[in-house]
Amino acid sequence: MSLDIDYYELLEVDRTADDKVLKAAYRKLAMQYHPDRNPGCQVSEARFKAINEAYEVLKDPQKRAAYDRFGKSMPNGFGGGGADFGDIGDIFESIFGSAFGGRQQQRGPARGADLRYDMEIRLEDAFTGCSREIQVDVAARCDACDGSGAKPGTTTHRCGTCGGHGKVRAQQGFFMVERTCPACQGAGEVIADPCPTCRGEGRVDRRKSLTVTIPPGVDEGTRIRLSGEGESGARGAAPGDLYIFLHMARHKLFEREGTTLFTRAPISFTIAALGGEIVIPGLDGAKHDIRIPAGIQSGKQLRQRGAGMPVLNGRGHGDLVIQIDVETPTKLTARQKELLCEFRETETGEECPASQGFFGRIKDMWDDLTE
């Protein structure tokens, strides 16, 4: 299928259109009729080829002049042959991204790999912040060749396969695909005499010590990035980063949710009935006096403002929440039992309204069933 349409009409531009207008029109239409956007449509495919042919002619001043004078009957050598691979690459890249076009890829060896280090810290360390010394095994820059990979006293040479570009191109249908050069692995240079220490890699395995500063307020899963402390890139390429992932050790007293600290405080039934005071230690070493109101029930939560975890990279602290658990005594002396019996004899039911209400509902249910 062919399209015998005027080139200017194909590109939807005036005959006075300049190069900028021509290119913008071509890019728009090429994206619209690209075969990958219209799979199986012969009309779109024919339109796409015709658009390429029109742009190939009109973007060239000599071909355009010949076309304006003779139309499609212009002399041999001036005919259209489809847009060049640079323009097609631009269109393909704008549709599918630079991963296919390869135009934005950086020349040279790949950046070094990022590394992960898992560190467990105490809740107290997360509260105050701290510094830790760690040791990591990494592929570090070779000191003998200063990371070049070449034997000291020798130099590298430009790669003959890619001409020093680090990339090679191959035609695939309408498109020019760019890949990393297999001869130099993207470096653009080859090593004739490799460094004996690193065997031409430019890096060697090494254990190094690092200081990690942990700010107050970090939490489970907090990530700390140490820029440039990952693996060195091959042949002098930029190093990767080291990421420290923090994990909280289980605390014997507190649990944490964000900046809020939680703890459970079992108290005697006499304190629950009469009221009193308990002391809870803070992670900062301070003592927090917690007042227990008379008649408190199990499950009741008391809140101490500002006694929780600090806000990471911010100001202030969260709260400390104490959940009260009223403990029933299991070991009583004879005298204590005697006193409790005396207390029971004086009960009217008003002392425990929830209990009285529950058993009252049970009585009502039995009454309903026996009627």
Q: Is the pLDDT of residue 66 over 90?
A: no
Measure the CA–CA gap between 208 and 143, rounded to whole angstroms. Answer: 14
Q: Is the pLDDT of residue 176 over 80?
A: no
Tokens of 293: 């109101």
**Which has the higher per-residue pLDDT, 95 or 206?**
206
**Which has the higher per-residue pLDDT, 1 or 231?**
231
Greatest alpha-carbon span in the chain: 124
Q: Is the pLDDT of residue 298 over 60?
A: yes
As a whole number, mean pLDDT of residues 242-249 equals: 95
Q: Is the pLDDT of residue 160 over 50?
A: yes
DSSP-derived 3-state class of residue 103? coil
Tokens of 19: 């190069």
- Among residues 205, 79, 194, the alpha carbon closest in space to that of 141 is found at 205
Q: Which residues contact 352 (CB under 8 A, 6 or more apart)?
A: none
195 marked ligand binding residue: yes
Cβ neighbours of 291 (radius 10 Å)? 9
Q: Are strands 115-121 and 242-248 parallel, antiparallel or unpaired?
A: parallel
Q: Is the pLDDT of residue 87 over 60?
A: no
**Lowest-pLDDT choice from 90-99, 113-122, 169-178:** 90-99
- Among residues 189, 193, 171, 170, the alpha carbon closest in space to that of 107 is found at 189
Distances (CA, A) of 322 to 87, 257, 292, 294, 354: 69, 13, 11, 16, 23
Which residues make up the CATH 1.10.287.110 domain(s) of the chain? 7-101
DSSP code, position 157: E
Tens-place pLDDT, residues 90-107: 555 444 444 444 444 445
Q: Which CATH entry fits the domain spanning 106-152+196-249: 3.30.70.2750, 2.60.260.20, 3.40.50.300, 3.40.50.2300?
A: 2.60.260.20
Measure the CA–CA gap between 224 and 125, rounded to whole angstroms. Answer: 15
Tens-place pLDDT, residues 138-158: 989 898 988 888 889 888 888
Measure the CA–CA gap between 72 and 20, rounded to whole angstroms. Answer: 23
**Which has the higher per-residue pLDDT, 1 or 331?**
331
Contact 22, 48 (CB under 8 A): no
pLDDT at 174: 57
142 marked ligand binding residue: yes
pLDDT at 171: 66
pLDDT band at 175 (very low <50, low <70, confident <90, very high): low
41 marked ligand binding residue: no
As a whole number, mean pLDDT of residues 263-279 equals: 94
pLDDT at 148: 84
Does domain 7-101 bear CATH number 1.10.287.110? yes
Contact 47, 3 (CB under 8 A): yes
pLDDT at 101: 42
As a whole number, mean pLDDT of residues 204-213 equals: 93
pLDDT at 352: 80
As a whole number, mean pLDDT of residues 116-139 equals: 94
Contact 71, 7 (CB under 8 A): no
181 marked ligand binding residue: yes
Measure the CA–CA gap between 329 and 310, rounded to whole angstroms. Answer: 38
352 marked ligand binding residue: no
As a whole number, mean pLDDT of residues 116-120 equals: 95
Measure the CA–CA gap between 155 and 191, rounded to whole angstroms. Answer: 7
pLDDT at 336: 93
Contact 341, 325 (CB under 8 A): no
Tens-place pLDDT, residues 213-232: 999 999 999 999 999 999 98
Backbone angles phi, psi at 47, to 5 degrees: -65, -40
Chain Cα centroid distance, residue 366: 62
Domain at 255-327: CATH code: 2.60.260.20
pLDDT at 173: 57
pLDDT at 291: 96
145 marked ligand binding residue: yes
Alpha helices in the chain (DSSP H): 7-11, 19-33, 42-58, 61-70, 85-96, 98-101, 123-128, 269-274, 334-346, 353-370
Q: Is the pLDDT of residue 211 over 70?
A: yes
DSSP-derived 3-state class of residue 78? coil
Against a cut of 0.75, is the pTM above it? no
Distances (CA, A) of 15 to 19, 39, 53, 68, 216: 11, 32, 16, 9, 68
As a whole number, mean pLDDT of residues 336-363 equals: 84
Which residues make up the CATH 2.60.260.20 domain(s) of the chain? 106-152+196-249, 255-327
As a whole number, mean pLDDT of residues 315-323 equals: 95
pLDDT at 222: 94
341 marked ligand binding residue: no
Tens-place pLDDT, residues 177-189: 778 888 877 778 8
pLDDT band at 3 (very low <50, low <70, confident <90, very high): low
Measure the CA–CA gap between 336 and 270, rounded to whole angstroms. Answer: 12
Contact 236, 148 (CB under 8 A): yes
130 marked ligand binding residue: no
pLDDT > 70 fraction of the chain, expressed in percent and rounded: 87
